[in-house]
Chains A and B, each alone.
Chain A
Amino acid sequence: MQMLNAIIRSDRDGILVPVPQYPLYSAAISLFGGSLVPYYLEEEANWGLDFANIRQTVTEARSKGITVRAMVIINPGNPTGQCLSEGTIRELLSFCYRENLVLLADEVYQQNIYQDERPFISARKVLFDMGPPTSREVQLVSFHTVSKGYWGECGQRGGYFEMTNLPPKTVDEIYKVASIALSPNVPGQIFMGLMVNPPKPGDISYMKYAAESKAILESLRRRAHIMTDGFNNCRNVVCNFTEGAMYSFPQIRLPQRAIDAAQSAGKAADVFYCLKLLEATGISTVPGSGFGQKEGVFHLRTTILPAEEDMPAIMSSFKKFNDSFMDQYDGYGGGGSSYSRM
């Protein structure tokens, strides 16, 4: 929020934000009076980036008098979970170099990776690997937190941002605003220190620490699979695998009658579905509209955090609800293979 407040001067300053996105970005841009310039992630391409599309988006924004100042990238994504390849990050950095954008790299889920093809690589590392002039010119701000990973210390409110290639006078101004809040809370700072410098092999606590963290991450990986497979097993639901972060973001292909019913009830279609889901099963999710999605495409976001032993029951409860919802609103009963994609 501090960075966006520093950058946004008026509603003619635009910030490129992925859609779907973690709504902190849209809220912050709105609060600071800027313009959100959305770039759509491609669901059929595993929530990948389409640079031709992004360039087009920037051109359109500029033609409307918007100065595009910054680009937000969330890696691994929230709610989408996709992990960026090194090649994609390079392309991103080159894009920012050419278009004169500061890259805001939200990397808070960097320790939540559930596949081995694309391990986490930081934007900063890629930037420096690219060498000059890119490595000296592209402005980058990277964000991390103690709230996620395998430590999950959300309540401590600890985190940091690291600035690369921002001029000293700008850093002074950011320091000035930070100093109004005096200091971040000290326990959060201590947690941060422990997070980046945990027990090492040979330390007394190492064995216990390694066992605890490994168990948590392995369980999260299993849960990512259970949920993805469970959703894909449901009628009219398709779900990309959760490669990272903590969420599953299945697409619910709502029948027209359901969409109409939602409209009569004065609700967005996915809100309608999620409310029905909650009422029927007690499962509380966030409708996809909260994160942004393409017109006419609906999702919900659930976390992969319920206890592993509860997962099968949760997925079967969901399936039961979804089957009966689809029976009710999808006149053709059993229509469409549950594995068909857009």
Chain B
Amino acid sequence: MATSVSVETLNPKVLRCEYAVRGEIAIHAQHLLQQLERQPGSLPFDEVLFCNIGNPQSFGLKPITFFREVLALCDHPNLLDQEETKSLFSTDAITRAKKILARIPGRATGAYSHSQGIKGLRDEIAAGIASRDGFPANADDIFLTNGASPGVHMMMQLLIRNGRDGIMCPIPQYSLYSASIALHGGALVPYYLDESSGWGLEISELKRQLEDARSKGIAVRALVVSILEILLGRLVSMFSFVLKKDPVSKREIRCNSLRSEKELKKVYQENIYVTNKKFNSFKKIVRSMGYNGDDLRLVSFQSVSKGYYGECGKRGGYMEVTGFSTTVREQLYKIASVNLCSNITGQILSSLVMNPPKAGDASYDLYEAEKDSILESLARRAKAMAFAFNGIDGITCNKTEGAMYLFPRIHLPQKAIETASAVNKAPDVFYARRLLDTTGIVVTPGSGFGQVAGTWHLRFTILPPEEKIPSIISRFREFHEEFMAQYRD
């Protein structure tokens, strides 16, 4: 009997989409991990080192004490009535938990909430945004989501009508965007960041790609920007570029507007490692230039998965949606409501991240100490790894000013490229697979993020524990030198 559901009869958009971060290399790494567990010693390495995913707590990052205390108390409110609790939990965590529960209908973290998230928590987040940026934020503009990704998907779903709707994405990009665009049947319009100037953004490149897309009949609907790839100066000129692009049309998205919306991913706002630069949210810059809500449709995404808190597994985050009309917002709300609401633990965490302990609070000193220690360690690791990569022949690596990754470029010899081609693999996938099989180090090949044609990269996280970094570098260096010797032209 012919099967109803098989690869031949699946949705072609599903077949087309790719997500390299958990792709071929990551899958193979899981097999090797299981093999090591079943037969220790059967591989040329004794541990698999996952340097492919920004998953800090899996590498031993400890969660922020204050955050976990509040979550525990909220999930088991009986604790708040017990005497012993005062000796186990800090007083401000107890106060905060009570305050949060008072804002949840029925004080139940197990109940569905409003589809945009609990109102009281959104109020706190809006206040946190306002105090960070110096410009007001509105709780009604906030949609709490399971991580930042669902917000991105919602926007893609809203914006992409067919294959001729294009979304501009930076290359390299976090593969969520390409995957989401493919899943929703749209067109990805790439704009290339300039590796030689530290992954800088050139406005001329944006313009060129925009014109090119339009000449092919693509209606460019939105521009994706990942804040840490932009320096302040370039940001300002890019913004002017966006405003001047088109005759200003005040019509709705659904009525075929020509205006480009902006989607901005800011999830790494707390991971800044260079002292001369500070995080400035896109919205802050836009408002400080004098542009109010109506001038620009801006969606900003944040997540609890990164920063110094690294609570990836809780799936918390939000998007702040400004500049859209009420009718469009109703549609967005409608889509959000199909999934009822995001998980409450994640919602609470988002409110804690945007309103952490302040000077004078009982937990403040510990909180600051934990936070500083984590960020300083990440900065050291970022520096050490970039420096080490640059010291290896055939590898160049831009410093990372923020986030959790390095993106070294591997200058592969022609022979390696040909060998890869012969086995039908992209050269960086071929390299990454060899690296994994030889050393147990798991990275994500650059092809998953996009790169200038003919260049090859690997995405390496800076998350392994500091003590392990020297041995990772030396194992990598040894492998690389052997690989290059084998495929030398």
Q: Which residues of A contact B (CB under 8 A)?
A: 1, 5-9, 24, 27-28, 31-32, 69-70, 97, 100-102, 133, 137, 139, 147, 151-157, 165-167, 169-170, 173, 176-177, 179-188
A155→B112 contact, CB < 8 A: yes
Q: Give, as a whole number of angstroms, the nearest-CB distance from B366 to chain A.
A: 24
Say yes or no: A180 contacts B110, CB within 8 Å. Answer: no
Q: How far is the CA of A179 from the CA of B22 in the complex (A)?
A: 6
User: Knowing A5-B14, A167-B3 touch, does A155 contact B344 (C-beta < 8 A)?
Assistant: yes
Contacting pair B314 A170 (CB below 8 A): no
**Nearest-neighbor residue (CB-CB) of A190 within chain B:** B313
Across-interface contacts of B7 in A (CB, < 8 A): 167, 169-170, 173
A70 to B112, CA, bound (A): 29
Bound Cα distance A111, B314 (Å):
26
With a CB–CB cut-off of 8 A, which chain B residues contact A179?
19, 21-22
Measured CA separation A153–B149 after assembly (Å): 23
In angstroms, how far is the closest chain B Cβ from the Cβ of A151? 8
Decide if B170 is an interface residue (CB 8 Å cutoff). Answer: no
13 contacts between A and B (CB under 8 A): A7-B10, A9-B10, A102-B4, A102-B5, A137-B1, A139-B5, A155-B341, A157-B342, A170-B7, A177-B14, A180-B183, A181-B149, A185-B313
Minimal Cβ-Cβ distance residue in A for B335: A31
In chain A, what residue has the closest Cβ to B109?
Answer: A155
**Chain B residue total in the interface (Cβ 8 A):** 50
Separation of A89 and B313 alpha carbons in the complex (Å):
37
Contacts of B21 on A, CB cut-off 8 Å? 179
CB proximity of A128 to chain B, nearest CB, Å: 18
Contact B4 A173 (CB under 8 A): no
Q: For B344, give the chain A residue with the smallest CB separation.
A: A155
Q: Which residues of A contact B147 (CB under 8 A)?
A: 181-182
Is B2 touching A100 in the complex (CB atoms < 8 A)? yes
Q: B146 in the interface, Cβ–Cβ < 8 Å?
A: yes
Contact of B1 among A24, A97, A167, A186 (CB under 8 A): A97
Contact of A154 with B4 in the complex, beta carbons under 8 Å: no
Contact partners of B180 in chain A: CB under 8 A: 180
Q: Is the CB of B10 within 8 A of A152?
A: no
Q: If the complex has contacts A7-B11, A180-B19, are A156 and B4 also in contact, measured as CB distance less than 8 A?
A: no
- List of A residues within 8 angstroms of B2 by Cβ: 100
Report whether over half of chain B's contact residues are helix, strand or loop; otherwise say mixed: loop
Contacts of A165 in B (CB 8 A): 3
Contact A155 B6 (CB under 8 A): no
Measured between C-beta atoms, what is the minimum distance from A36 to chain B in Å?
15
B103-124 vs A, CB cutoff 8 Å, 1 = contact: the mask equals 0000011111100000000000
A154 partner, pick from B3, B12, B183, B340, beta carbons under 8 A: B340
Q: Are A9 and B11 in contact (CB under 8 A)?
A: yes
Q: Look across to chain A and name the residue whose beta carbon is closest to the beta carbon of B54.
A: A182
Q: Which of A153, A167, A181 contacts B110 (CB 8 A)?
A: A153
Known: A31-B157, A154-B111, A156-B345. A70 touches B338 (CB 8 A): no
B9, A9: Cβ atoms under 8 Å? yes
- B313 and A139 form a contact (CB under 8 A): no
Q: How far is the CA of A338 from the CA of B87 in the complex (A)?
A: 62
Given contacts A28-B338, A139-B3, 13 further A-B contacts (CB under 8 A): A6-B14, A31-B335, A70-B5, A97-B1, A137-B3, A167-B5, A173-B10, A177-B17, A179-B21, A179-B22, A182-B22, A185-B343, A187-B314
CB distance from A250 to the nearest CB of B (A): 24
Number of A-B contacts (CB under 8 A): 135
How far is the CB of A88 from the nearest CB of chain B, in Å?
21
How far is A227 from B53 in the complex, measured between Cα atoms in Å? 52
Asked whether any CB of chain A lies closer than 8 Å to the CB of B172, the reply is: no
CA distance A8 to B14 in the complex (A): 10
Report which of B23, B312, B343 forms a contact with A182, defined as CB distance below 8 A. B312
**In this assembly, does B259 line the interface, its C-beta being within 8 Å of a C-beta of chain A?**
no
Q: How far is the CB of A123 from chain B (nearest CB, A)?
A: 16
Give bound CA distance, A10 to B281, whole Å. 40
Closest chain B residue to A27 by CB distance? B338
Query: Is A155 a contact partner of B108 (Cβ separation < 8 A)?
Result: yes
B77 at interface by CB-CB < 8 Å? no
Q: From A167, which residue of chain B is reached at the shortest CB distance? A: B6
B-chain residues with CB within 8 Å of residue A151 when the two chains form the complex? 110
A8 to B11, CA, bound (A): 6
A177 to B153, CA, bound (A): 12
Among residues of B, the one whose C-beta sits closest to the C-beta of A181 is B149
B150 within 8 A of A: yes
Contacts of B183 in A (CB 8 A): 5, 177, 180
Using Cβ atoms and an 8 Å threshold, which residues of chain B touch A184? 315
Asked if B179 is at the interface (CB within 8 A of a chain A CB), the reply is yes
Tell me if B343 and A155 are in contact (CB < 8 A). yes
Which of A5, A28, A156 neighbours the largest number of chain B CB atoms within 10 Å of its CB? A156
Closest to A23 in B: B338
- B314 to chain A: closest residue by CB: A185
Measured between alpha carbons, how far is A187 from B23 in the docked complex, in Å? 25
Task: Check B5 against A69 for contact (C-beta < 8 Å).
Answer: yes
CA distance A89 to B111 in the complex (A): 32
Q: Is the CB of B19 within 8 A of A185?
A: no
Closest B-chain residue to A9, C-beta based? B11
Given A9-B9, A173-B7, decide whether A180 and B150 contact each other with a Cβ distance below 8 A. Answer: no
Give the CA-CA distance A323 to B217 in the complex, in Å. Answer: 62
- Nearest CB of B to A155, in Å: 4
What residues of A have a CB within 8 angstroms of the CB of B236 in the complex?
A: none
Q: Most A CB atoms within 10 A — which of B11, B21, B110, B146?
A: B11
Nearest CB on A from B413, distance (A): 32
Q: In the complex, how many angstroms separate the beta carbon of B118 from the nearest chain A beta carbon?
A: 9
Q: Which residues of A contact B248 (CB under 8 A)?
A: none
